[in-house]
Structure 1
């Protein structure tokens, strides 16, 4: 490599390093300097974060929690008129867009895993889910062995995809995976018989089924493959911001407000159809309201 090429290469590396440092800037400083925080939402992650009707604002358990966190950020920065931006994310882009600084906080249905922990930080776990299957009642799918030589939908990059693939390999089950761009898309594959089942977190499957055109056509089946803790995501190596987010969540859990939010979204009628999920708080989540753990799956 000649001198000119070396200089060009050094310049490129310097620019890349500067961009990375900018994206990794301490979040509260970034928010304070720009007078804006950008938070993400999911379009169909019922009841955590979803859009109940075309053109409507996102709602959900995690959206309400995000609102409280943002209120605490406004108080700490003494910026009551702080601008709040919203950005939709998918399972594929939620981590890259957070890491590169496009948005600042994600509270939704993201599982805290050790692998993801190498790229982002997670707050105190706010839910525990398990991988199961949603299928039409007429499909005769009752457990994972029934998936042999059949097509199953999921979302690319999800922990559920990886868990099902590993389980199928271990048990000698020949499963063909297809991927939706989001939960609604993967569910429609089952509705239209492009797939016999949709592998995803049980709570999301119950939410999608409850809000479908004809819930009576479907059922959630299969044993729970594993327990997965959900946590709000933040950029890594930002202890000040993590302390604030964890502080908000722990206050909600200890004050009783978290339990009220849970009852609102999991045990009461939710938009748009007023469906009740009838999903009492799990023993594991009750335990974590005291332990306040952010341990990965």
Structure 2
């Protein structure tokens, strides 16, 4: 009898140890999934070897009763680079915080808005309506139209043109729409969309001035330009011209009107728009450069650029581009880029 009791006691102890060991050999794998901004991601798919779950509204996930051992944790979400990590699960379990990196288009769609940087001193492309304080112009309407094509809204952030590319590169906005000419030099710093506007440089002078009709007449004359523009580049190539750079073109045109400078070199549509409402200024000569405007994006972010290009193709083909052009320039475009 005593022998039986001892055996039974041993068996009980062994059972208890087995239960305790089993409990200690399994645990929970849980965590949270966020984007680069620290915002929780709902609906991300999480894999733990053959197990699968999705994150809740707070970006959280959990796997219960996971046995101790080595596992592969994977996390996926649309538009994000997949995350993968080898983890070791011990009896106490493990908790992970996962950051997913979304591509440029996915980030914009998650935010519901595409933020454009723009130098809002450049009518009729972009300027601030004094009555409402809101940005308006051809570029602004184009930004809203293109944003709608990819299912988001557009937001315009005012930026000084001379620093607008560095601001894009540091993430202050998603793209630049600011009557920006596509140039080889700028292509070293940003990627451009397909062209959306054909333009060129033109001379503006006082209406009473009949001695300046072409760039060659600018020898010894003071020419106003905007800092960082192709107009400034063109002016500096004119031998003998005295170039005066301004932070925005409206200041240059105002100085021309009161006689502080002799001429302004600037994009035709902007100078033409100014001259229509300022009779002391006129446009002379013909275009002496051929340029095209593009929307600028950070380099190596093709997804958003490609989506905007597809939207541009659509509005050029279906007539929406022409309608927008007529609204701001009063006539159909001679050519569509």
TM-score interval w.r.t. the shorter chain? 0.7 to 0.9
Q: Deviation per CA, 1:19-40, whole angstroms, max 9, x where unpaired?
A: xxxxx97322433555553222
> Root-mean-square deviation (CA), in Å?
2.1
Secondary structure of the corresponding residue to residue 176 of structure 2 = coil
Instruction: Describe the shift of the 1:280–1:219 C-alpha distance in structure 2 as closer, same or farther (beyond 3 A).
Output: farther
Q: What is the rounded CA distance, in whole Å, between the counterparts of 1:117 and 1:60 in structure 2?
A: 25
Bigger mean CA offset, 109-118 vs 216-225: 216-225
| Contact 2:128 2:136 (8 Å CA) reproduced | yes
Displacement after TM superposition at 1:60 (Å): 1.3
| Contact 2:204 2:271 (8 Å CA) reproduced | yes
TM-score (normalised: structure 2): 0.65
Which 4+ runs in 1 deviate beyond 6 A? none
Q: Which residue of 2 aligns with 1:4?
A: none
Q: Which residue of 2 aligns with 1:243?
A: 306
| Contact 1:131 1:225 (8 Å CA) reproduced | yes
> Unaligned stretches of 5+ in structure 2?
1-100
| Structure in which a larger fraction of residues adopt strand | 2
Quick check: which has more Rg, 1 or 2?
Answer: 2
* Structure 2 counterpart of 1:139, from 197, 206, 209: 209
| Contact 1:41 1:58 (8 Å CA) reproduced | no
Displacement after TM superposition at 1:115 (Å): 0.9
Equivalent pairs counted in the alignment come to 236
Q: Which residue of 2 aligns with 1:87?
A: 157
The aligned runs of 1:31-46 (5 Å cut-off) are: 31-32=108-109, 36-46=113-123
Q: Which residue of 2 aligns with 1:252?
A: 315
Q: What is the rounded CA distance, in whole Å, between the counterparts of 1:29 and 1:256 in structure 2?
A: 28
Q: Which residue of 2 aligns with 1:271?
A: none
Q: Deviation per CA, 1:200-219, whole angstroms, max 9, x where unpaired?
A: 011110012223xxx22221
| Contact 1:47 1:204 (8 Å CA) reproduced | yes
Secondary structure of the corresponding residue to residue 194 of structure 1 = coil
Matched, 1:106 2:176: yes
The aligned runs of 1:58-97 (5 Å cut-off) are: 58-74=135-151, 85-97=155-167
Q: What is the rounded CA distance, in whole Å, between the counterparts of 2:332 and 2:148 in structure 1?
A: 28
Looking at both structures, which has the greater relative contact order when contacts are Cα pairs under 8 Å and sequence separation is at least 6? 1
Q: Which residue of 2 aligns with 1:20?
A: none
* Structure 2 counterpart of 1:176, from 226, 236, 242: 242
